[in-house]
Amino acid sequence: MPSKKRKKRGGERRVIHPRNKYSENPPDFGLLASLYPSFEPYVFYSLDGRPRIDWTDFNATRELTRVLLLHDYGLNWWIPDGQLCPTVPNRSNYIHWIEDLLASDLIPCTRGNSVVKGFDIGTGANCIYPLLGASLLGWTFVGSDVTDVAIEWANRNVKSNPHLSELIEIRRVDTETKIFDAEELQNKQKDNINSYVDSTNTVSVDMGPSPSFSLRSQSVKNSYHGPPVLVGVVKDGESFDFCMCNPPFFVTMEEAGLNPKTSCGGTPEEMVCLGGEEAFITRIIEDSAQLKHAFRWYTSMVGRKSNLNILTSKLWNVGVTVVKTTEFVQGQTSRWGLAWSFMPPSKKMLFSHVTEKKNLSFMLEITASQNHCNTILKSETQNENEAVQCKNELEISSTSNDNNCQSDDLQFRISVFQQIPGTLLVRSTLHQKESSSSGLFSLIFKQLEKVLKNKFCTERVSADGSCSNLRR
């Protein structure tokens, strides 16, 4: 079922996931006000008679979240003043997108457990993702955080819903554990840790046989130096189906308060960090490069579209096998979802992870036997003359190969470049460049192009909610 979309200059944007409870029926403020007296004072009616709330009033947005969670999900929920107040429809979109990723089987499940287990990085006092995931889908969760208030109220929200309390663990992050910086990395040489600084001032960590990652000195100043994110929080031997995160999007609280049209609260620990979301998500990427197969999928919300290219490039540099992105739209606010994995995909593909000009590519090596070619020719009915001509070429090529004792298989390479946003560039190369079967190759490529478009776009719809364009 396709997601609801709205027109935008230059294309379309996903508005809400089709399985989101509010996809067809947005919250009715008037109805909620009549059912919940505590919400009624915050509802007023515009000139056109539509019920509204003041989105710049934190108390109004918090009460709306409370009644939506109670009315639509049967959840008891509250947060103290100043804590980040989540919007329920947008958070539900993220949950359903992860559900799509898991259901796609692009990355097969290896945990051997039918119960999905997730990890919420920085669950906050609101604990919204574990509560939604547990109530909607029966998922189990570990939610981590660092502040006393967040840990206390997350636990309160879990205990207020005893039917879910056994599914959710709130885990305190050890704030005494320090994330060392580039200067300390150099000092660690004396402690037999393989680190070095090359002539370009790039500080690298030797991860053994794993693909290494690097941080340039220019960006080290803005790198993440806070408490542990995944490494040091995930316990030895633990495995998860996914992690998710609503990262600190901003560098300063002043930047966080630039939107005068909404008031969702938020503490400095929830909203800001040195380097903003790019630095924080980079830390998740670096942690994932160490934990690798401990998670089937690593995911994060991204607040700025410009960061998607930067982060995607970093992902390929650490050796991931697949990257997925999507867009979430809530009112006038857009957020993007970023997902990646180190596990081998279930699709029969040969992947190349060399990042060239910031383009992701994968490659298919295809050998088509004479029987395969004949089958394709028989199925081609759109251009009978072309099919007859290609069949003649095949017979000539086969005779020539017999005389020269060479294989009559047709060998060629298909390269697919996944570009952002959602575009596939498909290129083909015939290994036997002097072959007389060039017309046959063209016909086969047309058939393959149809298959790629149908199959690959269908998979992207199920995981991303948007179909790729296919370019030759």
Binding residues for S-adenosyl-L-methionine, by number, are 91, 122, 145, 246
Nearest to 469 by CA among 419, 414, 415, 413: 419
Query: HEC profile for the chain?
Result: CCCEEEEECCEEEEEECCCCCCCCCCCCHHHHHHHCCCCHHHEEECCCCCEEECCCCHHHHHHHHHHHHHHHHCCCCCCCCCCCCCCHHHHHHHHHHHHHHHHHCCCCCCCCCCCCEEEEECCCCCCHHHHHHHHHHCCEEEEEECCHHHHHHHHHHHHCCCCCHHHEEEEECCCCCCCCCHHHHHHHHHHCCCEEECCCCEEEECCCCCCCCEEEHHHHCCCCCCCCCCECCECCCCCEEEEEECCCCECCHHHHCCCCCCCCCCCHHHHECCCHHHHHHHHHHHHHHHHHHHEEEEEEEECCCHHHHHHHHHHHHCCCCEEEEEEEEECCEEEEEEEEECCCCCCCCEEEEEEECCEEEEEEEEEECHHHHHHHHHHCCCCHHHHHHHHHHHHHHHHHHHHCCCCCCEEEEEEEEEECCCEEEEEEEECCCCCCCHHHHHHHHHHHHHHHHHHHHHHHHHHHCCCCEEEC
Q: What are phi and psi of 83, to 5 degrees?
A: -75, 155
d(CA 194, CA 206): 6
- Cα–Cα distance, 98 to 89 (Å, whole number): 15
Binding site feature residues = 91, 122, 145, 246
CA distance readout (Å), 449 to 210, 312, 335: 34, 26, 32
Which residues, in sequence order, are bridge partners of residue 339?
Answer: 299, 324
Q: Is 104 exposed, middle or buried (0-12, 13-18, 19+ CB in 10 A)?
A: middle
CA 429 to chain centre: 32
